[in-house]
Amino acid sequence: MAERISFHDQIRANKLKSFFLIAVIFVFFILLGWIIALAAPDFFFIIMIISIIFSLSYVLISYYNSDKIALASVKAKPANKNMHAKFFHAAESMSLASGLPMPRLFVMHSEQINAFASGRNPENAVICATDGCLEKLDKQELEGVIAHEMSHVANYDIRFMTLVAVAVGMVSILAELFLRSLWFSSSDKGRGKGGAILIVLGIVFAILAPLFAQLVSLAISRKREFTADATAVKFTRYPPGLAKALKKIKHEHVSEQDKHHYSKAVAPLFISDPFKKKIQNIFSTHPDVDLRIEKLERM
């Protein structure tokens, strides 16, 4: 028999791993900045500061309107208390269990079982479920899915992933500006053997750092899903509910036409990958469903 695991241990371990991974992204940023500082052309840092200010402004606007953007992208409609009574009952139960404010509920048209949460904090949270989620799941399975989504709210995952996006964006901006500025450089810093080595090192790091930073951000996304699964168990005290929902998600057939209801930008928010990629790898936003089920069954 497989060894039992504690949801408290899972929550703590995954949170620690997430913070470690975001620290890795900031290390990339500091190293890249240090290398470029030694080899950078004229006016590079002035251009970089202006670009980062514009980028941060864009991210902050998106952050404060994350719920509106996510709902509009999937054409979600407000849930109706009469038509979607099961949805409201599950959300109310999980609101009481978690101690969080009742989120605003929305429904999107899709036959597949899926749901997502958005909003910058618990007071501004929304949960959107698909038609398929509300029709195909029983009470306990739906509560497991809603608990998972409310876990993202409780853990401030939107805020955390926004911080990750800012960190990855800064690495990418820094690298892109450095590479582009080399074409217009009239600096003497790059002359001589030592300067040439620094520029080559800067180019290599500027090419690789954004890729590694993006891979780390995807790893963080997968860790946050494991954390939300474990926190959902904390709220429901019934691991089989979410586990059975994930089994239904795993075995359901989704038509290519139905996949068009989803925006690629919002796909990472959902409880499972709406595009149903068969092979999970380092470029996946979600962890392997079988591994998630296996962990839940051991709690």
| Tens-digit pLDDT profile for residues 211-268 | 888 888 888 889 899 999 999 999 999 999 999 999 999 999 878 887 787 878 788 8
Q: Percentage of residues in the chain with pLDDT exceeding 90?
A: 39
Work out the burial of residue 245: count CB atoms within 10 Å of its CB; fewer than 13 is exposed, 13-18 middle, 19 or more buried. buried
Q: Is the pLDDT of residue 193 over 70?
A: no
Q: Are 112 and 129 in contact (CB under 8 A)?
A: no
Q: Are 241 and 144 in contact (CB under 8 A)?
A: yes
Query: Model pTM?
Result: 0.83
Least confident piece of the model among 21-35, 38-52, 91-105, 144-158 = 38-52
Mean of all residue pLDDT scores within the chain: 83
**Banded pLDDT at 189 (limits 50, 70, 90):** very low
CA 189 to chain centre: 40
Least confident piece of the model among 136-145, 159-168, 205-214 = 159-168
The neighbour count for residue 199, using CB atoms within 10 Å, is 23
Q: According to DSSP H, which parts of the chain are helical?
A: 7-39, 44-64, 66-73, 85-98, 131-136, 139-154, 157-181, 192-236, 239-251, 256-259, 289-297
Q: Six-digit token pair at 264? A: 């690629």
Q: Mean pLDDT throughout 14-31?
A: 76
Q: Percentage of residues in the chain with pLDDT exceeding 70?
A: 86
123 is catalytic: no
Work out the burial of residue 88: count CB atoms within 10 Å of its CB; fewer than 13 is exposed, 13-18 middle, 19 or more buried. middle
pLDDT at 28: 73
Q: Is the pLDDT of residue 50 over 50?
A: yes
Q: Is the pLDDT of residue 2 over 70?
A: no
Task: Tell me which amino acid residue 281 is.
Answer: N
Q: Are 278 and 286 in contact (CB under 8 A)?
A: no
pLDDT at 159: 79
Q: Closest Cα to residue 296, out of 118, 83, 147? A: 147
Q: Is the pLDDT of residue 94 over 80?
A: yes
Q: Mean pLDDT throughout 170-188?
A: 69
pLDDT at 129: 97
Residues in the chain: 299
pLDDT at 108: 95
Least confident piece of the model among 65-79, 189-203, 258-272 = 189-203
pLDDT at 192: 54
DSSP assignment string, 257-270: HHHTTS-TTTGGGB
pLDDT at 190: 46
pLDDT at 150: 94
Q: Are 212 and 218 in contact (CB under 8 A)?
A: no
Instruction: Give the DSSP letter of residue 130.
Output: E
Q: Six-digit token pair at 113? A: 């079982």
Residue of 279 and 93 predicted with greater confidence: 93
Instruction: Tell me which of 111, 141, 143, 149 is the catalytic residue.
Output: 149
Instruction: Give the DSSP letter of residue 204.
Output: H
**Banded pLDDT at 31 (limits 50, 70, 90):** confident
- Tell me the domain boundaries of the chain: 1-273+282-299
Query: What are 116's strand-pairing partners?
Result: 128, 270
The neighbour count for residue 195, using CB atoms within 10 Å, is 15
